[in-house]
Structure 1
Amino acid sequence: MTDHPTPTDATDATAQLIAELTRRGLTIAVAESLTGGGLTAELIRIPGASVVVNGGVVAYQTALKHTLLGVDRALLDEHGPVHPQVAAQMAAGVRTCLAVDGRPADIGVATTGVAGPDSQGAQVPGTVFVGLSREGETSVIPLRLHGDRAAIRAASAAAAIEAVYQLIAREPVE
Structure 2
Amino acid sequence: MVIVSGLLVGGGAWLATRGGSGEAAQRTPVLPNAFGAYKEAKAGDTEWKQDAVVNTDIAKGEVNLTYRASGGRALIIRARFEPQPTPGSEESGDTLYSVLDSTIDQRRVKTYPAGAVGGKIQCAVITVGGSAFTTCGWRNGTTYVTLAPVLNHDLIVSGEAPRDLRNFVNALKITPPK
Relative to the length of structure 1, the TM-score reads 0.31
Relative to the length of structure 2, the TM-score reads 0.31
